[in-house]
C-alpha cells in the first residue's frame, strides 16, 4: 500500500478582526456601507451557506419575522447598506424594527451605545446641537441624491420616548435643507409630545 505524501502547510497570514460589536458601532456611527454590506453577506453565509446579498437579506427577514414578529414580505431589500435604489421599506416597518430592538434589553443597550446621538456623536454630531436637543435623538441617517432619511428614537422634554422614521425622497433641493426640516420636525416633537 502506497501513501501519497501530504504537502506541508503553512499559515501565510492571519488576521483577527475587531469584535463584531465594535464593527457594528463603527458602521452605525459613521454610516459605513461596506461594513453593512459585509455583515449582510456574512449572515447569508452563516444561515444559508452562501455569502450573497440575496441570502443575507433572506436571513435578515427571517430573523425579524421569527424573533420580532415583523413581516417584511412586502419590502424590497437588495443589499445591506440601503444604497440600492431598489430597496423599498416603509417608515412603519423601520419603526417596528426600532420598537422591537428597544424591547430586548441587550439590543436596547446596544442602540443607546452605538447609534449616533444628536449634537454628540457620529453622523449626528453637527445636527441638533442646541442645549435643548443635544443628547436627545438616537438615530441612523440614510441619504443619496434626492433621498434623506432619519430613523430612531428621541426623548421628549417630558421624558417620553418617541420612535420615529422620517423618509424624504424625490426632492431637488440641497440635502442640507431636507436635514434641516427633519431636525425641525424632531424639535417640535421634543417640545410638544
Q: What is the DSSP letter of 3?
A: -
Query: Could you tell me which residues are beta bridge partners of residue 147?
Result: 144, 169
Report the alpha-carbon distance of residue 163 to residue 98 in Å, rounded.
7
CATH 3.40.710.10 assigned to domain 90-193? The reply is yes
Nearest to 79 by CA among 60, 107, 98: 60
Contact 28, 107 (CB under 8 A): no
Query: What pLDDT sits at residue 34?
Result: 96
Report the alpha-carbon distance of residue 17 to residue 24 in Å, rounded.
12
Contact 59, 74 (CB under 8 A): no
CB-CB neighbours of 48 under 10 Å: 15
3-state secondary structure of 143: strand
| Location of each CATH 3.40.710.10 domain in the chain | 90-193
pLDDT under 50 in the chain at which residues? none
Amino acid at each position: 500500500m502506497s501513501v501519497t505524501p501530504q504537502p506541508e502547510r503553512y499559515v501565510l497570514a492571519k488576521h483577527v478582526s475587531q469584535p463584531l460589536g465594535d464593527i457594528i458601532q463603527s458602521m452605525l456611527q459613521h454610516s459605513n456601507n461596506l461594513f453593512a454590506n459585509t455583515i449582510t453577506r456574512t449572515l447569508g453565509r452563516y444561515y444559508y451557506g452562501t455569502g450573497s446579498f440575496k441570502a443575507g437579506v433572506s436571513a435578515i427577514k427571517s430573523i425579524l419575522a421569527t424573533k420580532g414578529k415583523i413581516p417584511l414580505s412586502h419590502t424590497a431589500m437588495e443589499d445591506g447598506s440601503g444604497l440600492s435604489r431598489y430597496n423599498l421599506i416603509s417608515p412603519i416597518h423601520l419603526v417596528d424594527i426600532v420598537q422591537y430592538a428597544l424591547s430586548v434589553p441587550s439590543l436596547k443597550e446596544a442602540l443607546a451605545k452605538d447609534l449616533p446621538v444628536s449634537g454628540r456623536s457620529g453622523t449626528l454630531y453637527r445636527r441638533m446641537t442646541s442645549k435643548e436637543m443635544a443628547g436627545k435623538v438616537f438615530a441612523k441617517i440614510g441619504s443619496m441624491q434626492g433621498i434623506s432619511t432619519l430613523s430612531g428614537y428621541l426623548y421628549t422634554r417630558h421624558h417620553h420616548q418617541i420612535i420615529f422614521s422620517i423618509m424624504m425622497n424625490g426632492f431637488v433641493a440641497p440635502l442640507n435643507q431636507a436635514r434641516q426640516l427633519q431636525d425641525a420636525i424632531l424639535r417640535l416633537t421634543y417640545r410638544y409630545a
